[in-house]
Structure 1
Amino acid sequence: MPLAALTMLAAGLGIPVLAALNAALGTRLGSPSAAAAILFCVALTATSLVVLVTGPQALTRLAGTPKHLFAAGLFVAFYILSITYIAPTFGIGNAVFCVLLGQLFSAAAIDHFGLFGARISPLTLTRATGISIMALGVWVTQRA
Structure 2
Amino acid sequence: MGTSAVGYLLAFAAGVSFVFQQAVNSNLRLEIGSAWWAGFVSYLGGTAVMFIAALALREPFPSIAAAAEAPAMSWTGGIFGAVYIAISIILLPKLGAATVIALIVAGQMIGSIAFDHFGLFGLPVHHVTAARLAGALFLLVGTTLVRY
Is TM > 0.5 for Structure 1 vs Structure 2? yes
Aligned counterpart, 2:52: 49
Deviation at 1:141, TM superposition (A): 2.3
Q: 1:113 aligns with which of 86, 103, 118?
A: 118
Deviation at 1:124, TM superposition (A): 0.9
Contact 2:106 2:136 in 1 (8 A): no
Deviation at 1:82, TM superposition (A): 1.2
Aligned counterpart, 2:90: 85
What pairs up with 1:55-134 in 2 under 5 angstroms? 55-60=58-63, 61-134=66-139
Give me the whole-angstrom Cα distance separating, in 1, the residues matched to 2:90 and 2:62.
33
Identity across the alignment (%)? 24
Give me the whole-angstrom Cα distance separating, in 2, the residues matched to 1:117 and 1:54.
27
Aligned residue-pair number: 143
Aligned counterpart, 1:25: 28
With the length of structure 1 as denominator, give the TM-score of the two structures.
0.91
Quick one: which amino acid aligns to residue 66 of structure 1? P
Whichever structure has more helix as a proportion of its residues is 1
Contact 2:117 2:127 in 1 (8 A): yes
Quick one: which amino acid aligns to residue 73 of structure 1? G
Extract unaligned runs of 5+ from structure 1. Answer: none
Deviation at 1:58, TM superposition (A): 4.8
Give me the whole-angstrom Cα distance separating, in 2, the residues matched to 1:133 and 1:11.
22
Change in 2 beyond 3 A, CA 1:4/1:58: farther
Give me the whole-angstrom Cα distance separating, in 2, the residues matched to 1:136 and 1:121.
23
Moved over 6 A (4+): none
Q: 1:7 aligns with which of 4, 10, 19?
A: 10
Q: Does 1:38 align with 2:41?
A: yes
With the length of structure 2 as denominator, give the TM-score of the two structures.
0.88
CA RMSD of aligned residues (A): 1.5
Deviation at 1:7, TM superposition (A): 1.4
Give me the whole-angstrom Cα distance separating, in 1, the residues matched to 2:51 and 2:30.
28
Contact 2:99 2:143 in 1 (8 A): no
Cα distance per residue 1:21-58 (max 9 Å; x no partner) = 10001100011111111111110000011111234325
Give me the whole-angstrom Cα distance separating, in 1, the residues matched to 2:94 and 2:146.
19
